[in-house]
Amino acid sequence: MSAPVNAPVSVAGGAPGGAPLLQMQRISKHFGGLQALKDVDLTLQAGELLGIVGDNGAGKSTLIKVLTGVYPPDGGGIVLNGERVRIPNRRASIDLGIDAVYQNLALVDYLTAPQNVYLGNEIKRSVLGIPVLDNAGMRKKAAAILNDRLGVALGDIDQHTFNLSGGQRQAVAIARALIQEKGRILILDEPTAALGPEESRRMLEVVQRLKRKEMGIIMISHQLEHVFELADRIMVLRRGRLAGVRSTAHTTRQEILGLIVGSIADYEADAGAAGAAVTP
């Protein structure tokens, strides 16, 4: 299972070369008087993992919800594989191959893991010409994804997700994003926030494994160490604006922290100064 053609990680350095998988251009969004996002740009390459960090209220989750059609942006555009796209609702983003694991996981407690995995994307089969849910088929495939691809055992797969542990629930949420054949972009919003150290470790391994696929991953996290471990590039948001983007290989934790809290000068205003300011 090695990725043959695309040598993804090499993209990570500096300016992206070929047509990026995704470009979000000058995205703005306000809620009443609150400017949640202001002219934010985002670029994602295939095979790349982009980390997004920032303080609470920096606009990380809002940016993700714009990308997944939950919030329509007030301004700006989205270009997917070189084509300008409109994402008016969640359904549209799913159909474009944009999958997301939200911070609250978006599971339905009183459905089973397979029912949650396929929620909104059910497999159907025809019985006497009537399309009916293929419950057995979905159950089998969901079990395969959970066991084989994510390496998570649920015990009784027919129990309600209500009864599952934090790590198991996280796995179910990620499995949902993996059922799409045409899935091109995977968004992970705080994938380790609800997990203990052991479970976090396993989740990072899972993300690491996903990374080999020909897919772009966006990971939001408060845990800088996790971002440094997995991300090829790190994007910093501050108060709804882009504070800076750094290649993980060429930055330090101090610099990223500086961008997060604003002690390092604005990226766009004075990139040179930002570079100078990092030396500890």
Partner 1 sequence: MSVPAIAAGRERRQPAIERYLNILGPLAMIVAIGVVMAIFEPRFFRITNIRIILQDAAIYMVLGMAMTLVITGAGIDLSIGSISALSAIIMAIFIKDLNVAVYAAMLMALIVGVGCGLVNGLIITLLRVPDLITTLSMDLVFRGLALVLAAGAVLQRFPEPIPAIGRGRILNDTIPIPIVIGLVVLLIGVFIYRYTPLGRYAIAIGGNRESAMLSGINVRRNKVYHYMLMGGAAGLAGIMLTGRLNAVQATVAEGFALHTIAAVVVGGTVLFGGRGTMAGTLVGVILLSMVTNALVILRMAFFWQLVAAGVIIVVSVAFYSYLERRGKGGSE
Nearest distance from C-beta of residue 91 to partner 1, angstroms: 4
Q: CA–CA distance from 154 to each of 67, 135, 142, 163, 165 (Å)?
A: 31, 18, 11, 10, 9
Q: Taking CB under 8 A as the criterion, which residues in 104-143 touch partner 1?
A: 104-111, 115, 119-122, 132-133, 135-136, 139-140, 143
Number of residues that bind partner 1 (CB under 8 A): 40
- Would you count residue 278 as binding partner 1 (CB under 8 A)? no
- If the CB atoms of residues 141 and 239 are measured against partner 1, the closer one turns out to be 141
- Rounded to an integer, what distance in angstroms lies between the CA atom of residue 50 and that of residue 218? 5
Amino acid identity of 259?
A: L
Select the residue interacting with partner 1 from 58, 150, 154, 203 (CB under 8 A): 154
Beta bridge partners of 186: 99, 217
Q: Taking CB under 8 A as the criterion, which residues in 161-190 touch partner 1?
A: 163, 176
Q: CA–CA distance from 119 to each of 31, 67, 93, 165, 172 (Å)?
A: 29, 20, 15, 20, 11
Decide: 96 and 85 in contact? Cβ < 8 Å: yes
Q: Taking CB under 8 A as the criterion, which residues in 55-74 touch partner 1?
A: 68, 70
- If the CB atoms of residues 77 and 131 are measured against partner 1, the closer one turns out to be 131
Q: CA–CA distance from 121 to each of 31, 71, 179, 185, 280 (Å)?
A: 31, 21, 9, 17, 50
- Would you count residue 196 as binding partner 1 (CB under 8 A)? no
User: Contact region for partner 1 (CB under 8 A) — 157-165, 214-222, 250-258, 260-268?
Assistant: 157-165
Antiparallel, parallel or unpaired: β 34-44 and 22-31: antiparallel
**Which runs of consecutive H residues, i.e. helices, occur in 145-196?**
166-178
Select the residue interacting with partner 1 from 72, 75, 77, 156 (CB under 8 A): 156
The binding site for partner 1 (CB under 8 A) comprises: 68, 70, 89-91, 93-94, 100, 102, 104-111, 115, 119-122, 132-133, 135-136, 139-140, 143, 147, 153-160, 163, 176
